[in-house]
Amino acid sequence: MTELADRLHGVQQRIAAAARAADRDPAEVTLVVVTKFQPVDLLQELYDLGVRDFGESRHPEARDKAAALPDDVVWHFIGQLQTNKARQVAKYADVIHSVDRIELIEALDGRELDVLLQVDLGIPEGGSEGPSRGGAKPSAIPFLAGRIVESDGLRLRGVMTVAPLGMPVVPAFSALRMVSERVRGVAPDASWISAGMSGDFREAIAAGATHVRIGSAVTGPRSTGL
């Protein structure tokens, strides 16, 4: 077995173990392998190992990879998205995890697309703090959810977060779960919770994550970027 296959299978086993430890069915948790900055050959290898959910964070890199891989891949766009690139990204992305403002929803309106609302748990209500990793503050989320529900074609699937730097992850993920419950008050089917990366997916799964976005633990270190 290759090193890549070893790492992939190791992560799959750790996800399943984390789910069972939380009394959850491992099949409820989707592994999205984050491949930003990685070459297409590596994505093709992952595809050959059975990976179908890929996470990318940059346009046009993501577009070029989507064009190079088979059609049955599910492309998850997880990076911050500029309003003027939204419609281009919607052409190849199946799910956009990083919807966080009204302008973006308006730019995407009219597309058939799964979207998640990105929540910034690092912003205290009424303030701003630290370098933002994208996302809307929790109090803004129900309004944004309502706007997506009224759109023509956008399907609100749930919420996403990147655990804020310098804050313990357990309270962050439990705060996300509360936001998820409020969103389900507006859109009952919006049950996805996208949370957890290489360093914190165990805690995210314990808090109810349905989608974990894992890069380096599967692919090895990236040369650039986050």
* Binding residues for ligand PLP (CB under 6 A): 34, 36, 57, 78-79, 162, 197-199, 213-217, 226
Minimum distance from residue 160 beta carbon to ligand PLP (Å):
8
Minimum distance from residue 131 beta carbon to ligand PLP (Å):
13
For residue 113, report the phi and psi dihedrals to the nearest 5 degrees: -160, 145
174-188 burial string, b = 16+ CB within 10 Å, else e? ebbeebbeebbebbe
* Residue with nearest beta carbon to ligand PLP: 215
Minimum distance from residue 70 beta carbon to ligand PLP (Å):
23
Minimum distance from residue 188 beta carbon to ligand PLP (Å):
26
Q: Which residue, 157 or 213, is less far from ligand PLP as judged by CB?
A: 213
Q: Which residue, 191 or 198, is less far from ligand PLP as judged by CB?
A: 198
Q: Which residue, 18 or 214, is less far from ligand PLP as judged by CB?
A: 214
Per the listing, tokens 């370098």 go with 131
Task: Give the integer Cα–Cα distance in Å for 85 and 49.
Answer: 31
Helix and strand numbers, DSSP H then E, in the chain: 9, 8
21 by Cβ neighbours in 10 Å (0-12 / 13-18 / 19+) ranks as: exposed
Q: Which residue, 31 or 141, is less far from ligand PLP as judged by CB?
A: 31
Q: Which residue, 138 or 215, is less far from ligand PLP as judged by CB?
A: 215
Minimum distance from residue 212 beta carbon to ligand PLP (Å):
9
Task: Give the integer Cα–Cα distance in Å for 109 and 29.
Answer: 28
Task: Give the integer Cα–Cα distance in Å for 195 and 18.
Answer: 14
